[in-house]
Chains A and B, each alone.
Chain A
Amino acid sequence: MSEITAAAPVVPKKGLSDQVAIDIVKMNKWYGTFHVLRDIDLTVHKGERIVIAGPSGSGKSTLIRCINRLEEHQTGQIFVDGIELTNDLKNIDKVRSEVGMVFQHFNLFPHLTVLENCTLAPIWVRKVPKRQAEETAMHFLEKVRIPEQAHKYPGQLSGGQQQRVAIARSLCMQPRVMLFDEPTSALDPEMIKEVLDTMIQLAEEGMTMLCVTHEMGFAQAVAHRVIFMDQGQIVEQNTPSEFFNNPRSERTKLFLSQILGH
């Protein structure tokens, strides 16, 4: 199956730069003896938007969590912005400050207000003066359309609002790449749209994005490339229109029929 991937390299779309944001070379990862990621090769260009789909347990979350070293890989190489992820803590912290991440369960800091959530990392990691960090934070909170909640605590917000705060919190670090780990999976159906709208807006501004999601409408609307994973491998990658209308591997066809079938 992986032959298909190798045989059909995806040409970056027009308007994308040739600069490489993330380069993953022959990366493997095991949980104990379980081989979760197998020979992953992936190059992400600056400004590119990638949606990663696949059944649960296929390793898609693990893959993007390797990119900011929330998970450690065992063999192969990962370069983010030219920096290789190794055991060197300095490099790891540097990569993490350049790569924003949005989690399924938001992971806002409940003991801090929305504004403090957004200013914490800029102040302590980037050493931005407090006043300036607050201005930036308000700018991004306006962008995700909840500036009026700035002085509330996360526990007082709805799920959709919390996830938008989480996006703003990541953006405050002015990252070059944004990772989304199933950002809408823990939300009520009524709140999914407000989060997706924010993400689409972000996409339109040219952010490099890797997004693990089951929202196929979102994939069709914004992705340059859809990657389908199964059993820890990249099974198929293609442009969204080709991927949805003309899937090549049997596994992809089965997956699409299951998730689009009703």
Chain B
Amino acid sequence: MSETDAQTTLFVRDTMLPPQPAPDKVSGPLLWLRENMFSGPLNILLTLLGLSIVWLVVSTIGPWLMHSVWNANGMAECRQIIAERYGPDASGACFALIRERWNQFVFGFYPPALYWRPVMAFTLLFFALAPILFMDSRKARWTVLALASVLGFLCAQLLGADGQTLIVITVAIVLWILVIEYGRSKALLLSLAYPFIGMWLLWGGSLWVEIMILAGFALAFLAFRLTQPMLGLIALAVAAAVIGVWWYFLADPAANALEQVIPLGLGKVPSSQFGGFVLSITIGVAGIAMSLPLGILLALARRSDLPIIKMLAVIFIEFIRGVPLIALLFVASLLLNYFLPPKVEFDIILRVVIMVTLFASAYMAEVIRGGLAALPRGQYEAADALGLDYWKAQRLIVLPQALKISIPGIVSTFIGMFKDTTLVTFVGLYDPLKAMSDTVRATFAWKGAYWEPYIFVGSIFFILCFGMSRYSMYLERRLKRENR
């Protein structure tokens, strides 16, 4: 062996190397451009192509937006103003239409004096959601609550709620915030009660009707608890019978009687006066809130070991996914009433909400099934080995992880469903995009307005959907800690 060989093999380090800072990254706008936009002939070509498309779009839309008119009494006046200001050939947007008719896009045919009610329903929605969505961040929760209450109050005031109403609103807001901050579990109860508060605000009538519906659930639960030790699973049927009898025969007279004693009525607003974003958001929120739990149950059913349950879930999911939403909506508007017992008259919005929920829950089930499948088998085995029963294992171990994996898919389904609510135009409801735009255009003054309503409605949809998307990103970031 040579001497050098011996030197290289025998080596003992006596001092350990300290860590060194990483070398400075070379950067700069020009370098970035060269690396990303002009790195080769194909890349240069694509960049130029992209730039020319951008130019084409901007040069067409830009002037049209720049020449927009916000103050006019009709399309004719708009065109006249544009011609005077920018020359006879200039084109321009006539956003005066939005300025004058925005309330129809937002509220449909809801009685203008009662605009504060949908506003409050929407405001309180955030109160119901904040304790759930921002469970572990006091700062985010407070920001949302403060923004919602200030904006809600201001809107209610600007839209002409009277003094007495404003006082009631303020008291309700303050009380609810106190409950959220000082009684966590009670805040969740309020969140569960929100759908009924929202229904009452939107449709009006006697609050006792909603309370009696809730009482039906309470009675069914009571019946189940009382009979379950004797009857086992048959107690479920007893509970269902109790709830059916209560709602069908007793709830209405009871509500009427109570309304006589203590009146809790608001002016009734029929479903036919709903429209615009009030309608879209009502259907969207109800559908979202119900499709998630239903989707979870369907996903679990589809992975169940019990063959009949599994088969039913598969049939349901595949059927719903194989049928267009519009077909389901037609079923809701035309056929559903034939199947219901006489005297039971389902409101059209309720029927549509049911169909939209079923539709979304089938997609939701598949998204969540993906999350369930992504969990390693060891997680199920560890839960089993500790003696957790099926439902506890699902609730404590499986679903928290599976739902976290599925967040992007779940939110996509939510967003898709919310946008699909515009399809209700096909069953004669006044969605903001098509039906409301057509209604506004049908007036003589605004005949000929084409893009303006779409742009307005589209931007509101974008803001709402983008908000959901940002929330899902926030949630993913918050939950990331676990996989560090």
Contact = CB atoms under 8 A, between A and B. Distances in A.
A107 B382 contact: yes
Interface stretch (B28-36, B279-287, B417-425, B476-484): B476-484
Contact of B392 (A101, A110, A124, A155): A124
Among B378, B385, B389, the most chain A Cβ lie within 10 Å of the Cβ of: B385
Interface in A161-193: 169-170, 173
B384 A97 contact: no
Contact of A121 (B386, B400, B404): B386
B277 to A, nearest CB: 37
* Chain B interface residue bracket vs A: 20 to 34
A244 to B, nearest CB: 31
Contact of B481 (A99, A120, A153): A153
B469 interface: no
Given A110-B483, A111-B482, A153-B484, A93 B387 contact: yes
B404 A111 contact: yes
Interface string B363-401: 000000000000010110110111111001000110011
Contacts of B381: 70, 103, 107
Contacts of A96: 384-387
A124 B387 CA distance: 9
A70 B385 contact: yes
B379 A107 contact: yes
A156 B480 CA distance: 12
Given A153-B482, A155-B483, A155-B484, A93 B382 contact: no
A103 to B, nearest CB: 6
Given A107-B379, A111-B404, A120 B396 contact: yes
A99 to B, nearest CB: 8
A124 B388 contact: yes
Contacts of B401: 109-111
A236 to B, nearest CB: 28
Contacts of A111: 400-401, 404, 479, 482
A116 to B, nearest CB: 10
Among B378, B382, B400, B482, the most chain A Cβ lie within 10 Å of the Cβ of: B382
Contacts of B389: 89, 93
A108 interface: yes
Contacts of A107: 376, 378-379, 381-382
Interface string A57-75: 0000000000011100000
Contacts of A153: 481-482, 484
B482 A155 contact: yes
* Chain A interface residue bracket vs B: 20 to 34
A128 interface: no
A172 to B, nearest CB: 9
B384 A70 contact: yes
Contacts of A121: 386-388
A254 interface: no
Given A153-B481, A153-B484, A155-B483, A109 B382 contact: yes
Among A99, A105, A111, the most chain B Cβ lie within 10 Å of the Cβ of: A111
Contacts of B481: 153
A105 B379 CA distance: 10
A124 B389 CA distance: 10
B407 to A, nearest CB: 13
B379 A97 contact: no
Interface string A37-66: 000000000000000000000000000000
Contacts of A173: 386-387
Nearest to A154: B482
A156 B387 CA distance: 26
Contacts of B388: 120-121, 124-125
B413 to A, nearest CB: 22
A215 B52 CA distance: 69
A94 B379 CA distance: 19
A199 B477 CA distance: 38
Interface string B442-484: 0000000000000000000000000000000000000101111
B334 to A, nearest CB: 46
Contacts of A156: 484
B177 to A, nearest CB: 28
Contacts of B379: 107, 109
B394 to A, nearest CB: 12
Interface of B: 376, 378-379, 381-382, 384-389, 392, 396-397, 400-401, 404, 479, 481-484
Sort A-B residue pairs by CB-CB distance and give the 5 closest, nearest first.
A97-B387, A107-B382, A107-B378, A121-B386, A96-B387
Interface of A: 68-70, 89, 93-94, 96-97, 99-101, 103, 105-111, 120-121, 124-125, 153, 155-156, 169-170, 173
9 contacts: A93-B387, A96-B385, A101-B382, A103-B382, A107-B376, A108-B382, A111-B400, A121-B388, A173-B386
